[in-house]
């Protein structure tokens, strides 16, 4: 009888434990669902321009995750990213700084556990720093830009230490640093003296009013060029290295020279790339097709795989989403999501222009800007349509730099290029204010 009672008690206890575990699992699932619901609610508030309400929703979601999954849980990452975006949208830079520092602290904890989780978090942090730097109203835009660059350098160092100095994962991070140097030079052209810290390629930190505008721009050019050469060496050292890849990297070197007004060096790179593709056995019609694309520079990401069928399928209309008036000639970064703002319709124009070919075959002839910047520019459509919008678009598009068109290795005229230009958030505000 006693044994029977003990058995019943044991079964009852087991059922009780199962009930507790089941109840806890249900509670965990409910809490996770509640946190996700709060994030969705906050995103909707952001889209409606209710940034304070969104901030509250994201903060609640973070607290729910902390209670349910622990103070150091990586699950709070999505809500934390949105919280930072809501603070940036309100211009609350110090509060955003605190949350960015907290995000970095969380991300560093993942480094020793999983390098790939660390890199994923670093990518998101870099995006947020770049987004902060893009706000025209941000008085410290340069500091955020440099924070993004230094974060990318730390990611590079972590890859080198963990995976090796020749690992393929290095190339996108190095190219992102190249792009940040372009953004830095663009900002310098607008703001003059350097009054913030930046990291050189040899690890040296330069700070204060150390450099004038021209010196800082030249330094950005030099570091960017060195990084592109390093990327070239990384591709060359791979087992599947090819002459085609080397040729395409020559194109990116040409792009970089062109962005810094070194047109003759740029053309040397482009012609070398064309000749290398020809020597490697690529069909000439495919090479001409590649060099007939209208690419606004800088290209947002490296494309070193030869895909002629992809080029053939490309829409002939160029789509350019302007990023910020801080960086007037740069498209929104590839991995950068436009900040959630209002539900206002997209303001954009459809433009038509040409890239002209003039006689510049002589050794001393000047290579005309007509190859690289829009000529005979015509605004065909504008939303909303007004003289102010058309003039704003005309000025913005006129600053863009395009990769030149080549035919059989020679500069070629290209007429009737169509470009769909989407205005920056700051330009949106200017248009609304003018109307």
Cis peptide before 384 (omega within 30 of 0): yes
Q: What is the DSSP secondary structure assignment for residue 402, as one 8-state letter?
A: B
Per-residue pLDDT tens over the stretch 48-65: 989 999 999 999 999 999
Torsion, Cα of 263, 265, 266, 270 (10° steps): 130
Give the pLDDT mean for 394-420.
Answer: 92
CB atoms within 10 A of CB 379: 19
Whether the Cβ atoms of residue 199 and residue 150 lie closer than 8 Å to each other: yes
Comparing 40-54, 131-145, 191-205, 321-335, the range with the smallest average pLDDT is: 191-205
Whether the Cβ atoms of residue 48 and residue 343 lie closer than 8 Å to each other: yes
312 pLDDT higher than 70? no
Give the pLDDT mean for 27-38.
Answer: 70
pLDDT at site 208: 42
What is the C-alpha separation between 146 and 425, in angstroms, rounded? 22
pLDDT at site 368: 60
414 pLDDT higher than 60? yes
Which residue did the predictor score with more confidence, 110 or 275? 275
Burial letters 412-432, b for 16+ CB under 10 A, else e: bebeebebebbbbbbbbbbbe
3 pLDDT higher than 80? no
Provide the token pair at 148.
Answer: 């993004």
What is the C-alpha separation between 183 and 162, in angstroms, rounded? 29
Give the pLDDT mean for 229-244.
Answer: 86
Q: What is the DSSP secondary structure assignment for residue 74, as one 8-state letter?
A: G
Whether the Cβ atoms of residue 249 and residue 228 lie closer than 8 Å to each other: yes
Per-residue pLDDT tens over the stretch 321-362: 999 999 988 999 987 655 444 444 589 999 999 987 654 444
pLDDT at site 340: 47
DSSP state letters, 256-313: HHHHTT-HHHHHHHHHHHHHHHHHTT--HHHHHHHTTS--BSSPSS---S--HHHHHT
Provide the token pair at 377.
Answer: 């520019």
Confidence of residue 209 (pLDDT cuts 50, 70, 90): very low
Whether the Cβ atoms of residue 42 and residue 82 lie closer than 8 Å to each other: yes
Q: What is the pTM of this model?
A: 0.85
pLDDT at site 251: 97
Mean pLDDT of all residues in the chain? 84
pLDDT at site 88: 96
What is the C-alpha separation between 21 and 32, in angstroms, rounded? 16
pLDDT at site 198: 47
What is the C-alpha separation between 235 and 263, in angstroms, rounded? 25
As a residue count, the chain comes to 435
What is the C-alpha separation between 247 and 250, in angstroms, rounded? 5
Per-residue pLDDT tens over the stretch 278-302: 999 999 999 999 999 999 999 999 9
Give the pLDDT mean for 259-277.
Answer: 95
């Amino acid at each position: 009888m006693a044994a029977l009672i003990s058995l019943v008690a044991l079964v009852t206890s087991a059922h009780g434990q199962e009930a507790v575990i089941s109840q806890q699992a249900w509670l965990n699932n409910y809490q996770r669902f509640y946190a996700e619901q709060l994030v969705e609610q906050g995103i909707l508030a952001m889209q409606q321009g209710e940034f304070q309400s969104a901030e509250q929703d994201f903060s609640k979601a973070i607290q729910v995750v902390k209670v349910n999954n622990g103070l150091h849980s990586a699950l709070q990452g999505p809500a934390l990213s949105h919280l930072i975006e809501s603070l940036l949208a309100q211009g609350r830079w110090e509060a955003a700084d605190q949350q960015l520092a907290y995000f970095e602290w969380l991300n560093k904890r993942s480094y020793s556990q999983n390098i790939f989780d660390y890199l994923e978090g670093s990518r998101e942090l870099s995006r947020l720093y770049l987004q902060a730097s893009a706000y025209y109203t941000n008085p410290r835009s340069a500091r955020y830009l440099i924070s993004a660059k230094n974060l990318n350098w730390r990611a590079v160092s972590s890859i080198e230490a963990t995976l090796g100095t020749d690992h393929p994962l290095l190339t996108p991070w190095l190219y992102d640093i190249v792009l940040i140097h372009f953004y830095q030079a663009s900002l310098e052209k607008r703001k003059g003296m350097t009054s913030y810290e930046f990291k050189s390629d040899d690890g040296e930190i330069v700070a204060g009013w150390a450099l004038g505008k021209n010196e800082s721009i030249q330094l950005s050019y030099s570091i960017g060029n060195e990084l592109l050469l390093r990327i070239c060496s990384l591709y060359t050292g791979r087992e599947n290295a090819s002459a085609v890849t080397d040729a395409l990297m020559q194109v990116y070197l040409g792009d970089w020279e062109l962005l810094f007004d070194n047109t003759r060096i740029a053309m040397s790179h482009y012609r070398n790339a064309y000749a290398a593709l020809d020597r490697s056995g690529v069909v000439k019609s495919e090479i001409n097709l590649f060099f007939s694309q209208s690419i606004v520079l800088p290209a947002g990401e490296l494309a070193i795989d030869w895909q002629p069928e992809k080029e053939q399928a490309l829409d002939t209309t160029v789509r350019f989403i302007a990023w910020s008036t801080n960086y007037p000639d740069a498209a929104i970064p590839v991995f950068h999501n436009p900040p959630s703002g209002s539900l206002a319709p997209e303001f954009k124009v459809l433009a038509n222009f040409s890239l002209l070919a003039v006689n510049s075959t002589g050794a001393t002839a000047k290579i005309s800007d007509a190859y690289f910047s829009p000529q005979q520019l015509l605004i065909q459509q504008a939303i909303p349509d007004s003289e102010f919008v058309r003039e704003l678009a005309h000025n913005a598009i006129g600053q863009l730099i395009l990769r030149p068109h080549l035919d059989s290795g020679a500069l070629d005229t290209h007429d009737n290029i169509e470009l769909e230009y989407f205005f920056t958030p700051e330009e949106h505000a200017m248009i609304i204010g003018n109307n």
